[in-house]
Amino acid sequence: MQDKNIFYIFGILQAITLGLIVFFILGLTNIGKDTAVLLSILFPLFTVIIEYIIYSKK
């Protein structure tokens, strides 16, 4: 049970950090703000989902 809580804490922190990095990097380019927001939400979300699938198989 405690391992699952640790996974959720660090998974959420990782997703937030990755989303902010993607958002600020895409903000330096000529990509629109709506695309930057969409990618900064979807990319970390999919990585957390994939990590959860891999983690839950153990």
Q: Which of 49, 41, 51, 34 is nearest to 18 (CA)?
A: 41
Give me the number of domains the chain comprises.
1
The CA distances from residue 35 to 3, 10, 45, 56, in Å, are: 35, 26, 15, 31
pLDDT digits (tens, 9 = 90+) for 35-45: 999 999 999 99
Q: Report the first-to-last Cα separation within the chain, whole angstroms.
A: 13
Per DSSP, 6 falls in state H
Confidence of residue 56 (pLDDT cuts 50, 70, 90): confident
pLDDT digits (tens, 9 = 90+) for 5-18: 888 888 889 999 99
CA atoms of 13 and 40, how far apart (whole Å): 14
Q: Domain containing 14: what range?
A: 2-56
